[in-house]
C-alpha cells in the first residue's frame, strides 16, 4: 500500500481506491502552466525553426496542383505511424490495399484499426472546415474516437465516450502502474478545462499550444483506449484550426515513433518534475524535423512523377496518352486495381489493362497480386518513398 504522498509541480495526486487497493491518481492543473512558461532564447530559436519549416512545407503543399494525392498519402502515413507507436502492425500498402477491399496477409484487426484512424481524422477535418459543422471541441474528439474504435478490438472500449472508470498506464493493475491518470470525475473536469484552452484567445503561439495540449491530453487519458492516437491527431487538428497548416497532410508521429522512449520519458517528467520547457524543445524539434522531411519527400515525389511522365511520353509510343492517364490514376491511388483506375481515368478496362502493362514494362508500376482476376498494381517507387519511416519497430 502506498505510504508517502508523491508531489508534483504541475498538479496534485489524490488517493483513490481501486478494488481494495489505494492508489495515487494524478490530477493535472489546468493549462496554461503556472508558474508561466519561461519562453527563453532556446525556446524562441526552436519555435522559430519549427514555424519556418512548417510554413515552408505547408506553402509547398498548398500550391501543388495535385495536393489531393499528398493529403491522401500523408494522412495515411500518419495513421500508420501513430498506430505503430502502440504496436499495430500494418504497412501503408496494406492499408491502401485494404481500402480496395482485399487484404491478404495482414491481420485484419490491425489494418482495420489504421483504416478507422483515417476515417476519424477525415470526419474531424470535414466538420471543422464545414461552416455548419462542429468546431474543434470535445464533442468532435469524442466523435473521432467513436469512429477510431468502431471496429474490432476497440468495440468494448466505450468508443465515443469519455471513461467513467479509473484507468492506468503500464503494469497489470493500478497499484503497479507507471502512471495513474485522474479518476473519471476529475478527468472529465480536466478535459473540459482543456477544451477551453484549445479555444483560448490569448497570445500563445499555436505550436506551443499544440505541444502543451498534447501532454495534457495524454495526462488526462480521458478514454479507455485510443488516447495516444486521438492525442496525436489533436496536434494536427489544432494546427489546422489555428491556420498554421492549411491541410491535414502532416505526420508528426514520425518523430515520436523514432524517439519513443524520450517521448514517454518527457510525458512522465512534465508530471513529476514540471519540465515543460524540455518537453516543448523536444516537441518543436519534432515538428521542425518532420516538416523538413515532409517537404523533402514532397519534392522528391513531385520530381519522380514528372520524370515518369517524361519517360512515358518518350517510350510508351502509341499508348502514351492512355498510359499518362493511368499514371495520373496511380498518382491518386498508389495502390489500385483496374476497376479503380478505370473509374479515375475514364478509360475502359481493356485500355487500362494495356496501359498498365506498358507501365509495368517501363518499371513504373508493378503488379502486387500475381493473380489473374482483380489484379492489383502499385506505383512502386512512389510507395517506396512514401513508406520511408514506416518500417516496423
Q: Which residues bind ligand ADP (CB under 6 A)?
A: 85-86, 169, 178-179, 218-219, 225-229, 231, 264, 267-268
Interface characters, 73-92, with Mg ion (x: CB under 5 A): -------------x------
Work out whether 381 is an interface residue with Mg ion (CB under 5 A): no
Which residue number, 86 or 313, has a Cβ lying nearer to Mg ion? 86
According to CB under 5 A, which residues from 209 to 228 bind Mg ion? 225
Q: Among Mg ion, ligand ADP, none, what binds residue 64 when CB lies within 5 to 8 Å by partner kind?
A: none
Q: Among Mg ion, ligand ADP, none, what binds residue 231 when CB lies within 5 to 8 Å by partner kind?
A: ligand ADP
Which residue number, 87 or 317, has a Cβ lying nearer to ligand ADP? 87
Q: What is the DSSP letter of 242?
A: T
**Contact status, residue 224 vs residue 167, Cβ threshold 8 Å:** yes
Which residue number, 11 or 228, has a Cβ lying nearer to ligand ADP? 228
**Contact status, residue 185 vs residue 195, Cβ threshold 8 Å:** no
- Written as nine digits, the cell of 161 is 465516450
Q: How far is 209 from 33, CA to CA, in rounded Å?
A: 11
Q: Among ligand ADP, Mg ion, none, what binds residue 252 when CB lies within 5 to 8 Å by partner kind?
A: none
Q: How far is 160 from 77, CA to CA, in rounded Å?
A: 24
Q: Among Mg ion, ligand ADP, none, what binds residue 253 when CB lies within 5 to 8 Å by partner kind?
A: none
- Least Å distance, CB 372 to ligand ADP, is 40
- Least Å distance, CB 228 to Mg ion, is 6
**Contact status, residue 100 vs residue 335, Cβ threshold 8 Å:** yes
Q: Among Mg ion, ligand ADP, none, what binds residue 128 when CB lies within 5 to 8 Å by partner kind?
A: none
Q: What is the size of the binding site for Mg ion (CB under 5 A)?
A: 2
Candidates 22, 26, 23, 24; CA nearest to 11 is 26
Candidates 255, 330, 327, 332; CA nearest to 289 is 255
Which residue number, 69 or 79, has a Cβ lying nearer to ligand ADP? 79
The residue nearest ligand ADP at its CB is 228
Which residue number, 228 or 389, has a Cβ lying nearer to ligand ADP? 228
- Least Å distance, CB 225 to ligand ADP, is 5
Q: How far is 17 from 23, CA to CA, in rounded Å?
A: 6
Residues in the chain: 393
Which positions ≥6 away from 93 have C-beta within 8 Å?
334, 335, 368, 378, 383, 387
- Written as nine digits, the cell of 266 is 518527457
Q: What is the DSSP letter of 205?
A: -
Q: How far is 384 from 59, CA to CA, in rounded Å?
A: 24
According to CB under 5 A, which residues from 138 to 177 bind Mg ion? none
Q: Among ligand ADP, Mg ion, none, what binds residue 116 when CB lies within 5 to 8 Å by partner kind?
A: none
Which positions lie near Mg ion, rule CB under 5 A? 86, 225
Amino acid at each position: 500500500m502506498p505510504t508517502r504522498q508523491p508531489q508534483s509541480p504541475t498538479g496534485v495526486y489524490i488517493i483513490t481506491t481501486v478494488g481494495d487497493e489505494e492508489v495515487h491518481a494524478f490530477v493535472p492543473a489546468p493549462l496554461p502552466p503556472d508558474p508561466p512558461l519561461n519562453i527563453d532564447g532556446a525556446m524562441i530559436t526552436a519555435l522559430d525553426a519549427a514555424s519556418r519549416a512548417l510554413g515552408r512545407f505547408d506553402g509547398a503543399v498548398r500550391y501543388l496542383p495535385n495536393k489531393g494525392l499528398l493529403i491522401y498519402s500523408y494522412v495515411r502515413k500518419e495513421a500508420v505511424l501513430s498506430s505503430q507507436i502502440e504496436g499495430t502492425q500494418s504497412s501503408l500498402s496494406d492499408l491502401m490495399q485494404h481500402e480496395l477491399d482485399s487484404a491478404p496477409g495482414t491481420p485484419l484487426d490491425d489494418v482495420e484499426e489504421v483504416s478507422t484512424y483515417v476515417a476519424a481524422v477525415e470526419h474531424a477535418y470535414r466538420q471543422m472546415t464545414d461552416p455548419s459543422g462542429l468546431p474543434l471541441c470535445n464533442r468532435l474528439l469524442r466523435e473521432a474516437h467513436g469512429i477510431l474504435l468502431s471496429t474490432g478490438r476497440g468495440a468494448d472500449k466505450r468508443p465515443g465516450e469519455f471513461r467513467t472508470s479509473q484507468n492506468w498506464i503500464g503494469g497489470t493493475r493500478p497499484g503497479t502502474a507507471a502512471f495513474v491518470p485522474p479518476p473519471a470525475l476529475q478527468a472529465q473536469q480536466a478535459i473540459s478545462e482543456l477544451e477551453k484552452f484549445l479555444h483560448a484567445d490569448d497570445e500563445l503561439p499555436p505550436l506551443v499550444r499544440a505541444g502543451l495540449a498534447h501532454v495534457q491530453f495524454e495526462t488526462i487519458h480521458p478514454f479507455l483506449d485510443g488516447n495516444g492516437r486521438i492525442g496525436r491527431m489533436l496536434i494536427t487538428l489544432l494546427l489546422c484550426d489555428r491556420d498554421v497548416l492549411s491541410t491535414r497532410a502532416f505526420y508528426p508521429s514520425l518523430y515520436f515513433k523514432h524517439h519513443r522512449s524520450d517521448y514517454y520519458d518527457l510525458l512522465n517528467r512534465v508530471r513529476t518534475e514540471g519540465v515543460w520547457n524540455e518537453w516543448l524543445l523536444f516537441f518543436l524539434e519534432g515538428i521542425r524535423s518532420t516538416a523538413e522531411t515532409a517537404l523533402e519527400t514532397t519534392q522528391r515525389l513531385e520530381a519522380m512523377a514528372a520524370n515518369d511522365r517524361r519517360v512515358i511520353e518518350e517510350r510508351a509510343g502509341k499508348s502514351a496518352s492512355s498510359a499518362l492517364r493511368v499514371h495520373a490514376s496511380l498518382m491518386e491511388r498508389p495502390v489500385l486495381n483496374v476497376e479503380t483506375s478505370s473509374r479515375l481515368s475514364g478509360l475502359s478496362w481493356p485500355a487500362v489493362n494495356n496501359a498498365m502493362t506498358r507501365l509495368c514494362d517501363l518499371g513504373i508500376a508493378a503488379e502486387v497480386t500475381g493473380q489473374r482476376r482483380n489484379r492489383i498494381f502499385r506505383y512502386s517507387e512512389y510507395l517506396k518513398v512514401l513508406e520511408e519511416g514506416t518500417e516496423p519497430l
